[in-house]
Amino acid sequence: MDILNFISWTKNGRTVSTVDGANTLVPLGFKDPKRDDGYLAGSISVDNLLASIPLPPSVIGVNGTSLYSTTPLAGPVGLLDNIALGSEAGQNATTAERSNFIGLNAGKNSSGIADNFIGRMAGENANNSSQSNFIGNSAGKQTNNAYWSNFIGGYAGISSSNAYSSNFIGYLAGYESSGTFRSNFFGQEAGMLSTGNNVNAFGYQAHRTGTLSGQTVFSNASFASYTNRTAATTAITVPNGARAGNTYLYYNQTTFTIEAVRL
């Protein structure tokens, strides 16, 4: 009869959209092994029922117009248009504006504006890194004066100094380089531990530990060398694995020049 009574009340319009929570009761069934049906009828006020239900954890916190995750705890970052997601991401980045910190400790203790630090510890403790993109595990971590730069790859640009206006792309590219401003390092360990500025280095370990400035460097590992042009044109062919529609650079050991085979 209880369910029939409920249906009857509903049909007769005895439903409401608001109630006095302190003085309105909700029927309950309490587990009671002494009863044949296993339950004892009872009630609880609406207010007490709501208070007993745990709220879901907050996911996003707000600091000004900035957002940061609270599970796990990130930020809070500076007040203006930042996003920090990940444990301790953006913490103490109080000067940050228009920046994105994503990953464990990404951008923690960093100083700069309009940055994108993505990856575990990317940009952590980066000083004066405005308008830079550090993407990858520890990319740009502890760098100093690397504004207007792009460090992409695991440990790319980590602990570098005065590497502003530079692009380090590849695992350990530009690692602990110093004074390498306006340089481009492409490849694993390219420019690692180097000190020259205005350098373009391409390939595995290109210009690694180098000190010259104003250079364009190709790693010998990725730049073929032949005794003369005949040797080069004999080796660089489609049957040997080259592809038509491409131009292949090589070093001519006889003329001491860089030449090319165009297919």
Answer positive or negative: Cα dihedral of 134, 139, 142, 145.
negative
Residues 168-209 pLDDT 10s: 999 999 999 999 999 999 999 999 999 999 999 999 999 999
For residue 41, tell me if it sits in a domain. yes
Nearest to 123 by CA among 111, 105, 109, 107: 107
For residue 238, tell me if it sits in a domain. yes
Residue bearing tokens 């006020």: 45
Q: Tell me, what's the pLDDT at 58?
A: 74
For residue 254, tell me if it sits in a domain. yes
Q: Tell me, what's the pLDDT at 41?
A: 80
Domain end, chosen from 8, 36, 54, is at 54
Domain end, chosen from 8, 29, 54, is at 54
pTM across the whole model: 0.79
Where in the sequence is the domain holding 243, given as residue range(s)? 224-262
For residue 193, tell me if it sits in a domain. no
Q: Strand, coil or helix: what is 67?
A: strand
Half-sphere exposure of 151 (CA within 13 A, CB side): 47
Residues 44-80 pLDDT 10s: 898 898 888 877 677 899 999 999 999 889 999 999 9
Q: What total number of domains does the chain contain?
A: 2
For residue 243, tell me if it sits in a domain. yes
| 146 in Cβ contact with 128 (< 8 Å) | yes
For residue 48, tell me if it sits in a domain. yes
Residue with the bigger pLDDT between 152 and 27: it is 152
Confidence of residue 1 (pLDDT cuts 50, 70, 90): very low
Residues 138-168 pLDDT 10s: 999 999 999 999 999 999 999 999 999 999 9
| 151 in Cβ contact with 174 (< 8 Å) | yes
For residue 8, tell me if it sits in a domain. no
Cis peptide before 72 (omega within 30 of 0): yes
Domain end, chosen from 9, 35, 54, is at 54
For residue 49, tell me if it sits in a domain. yes
Angle, CA of 176, 124 and 77, to the nearest 5°: 155
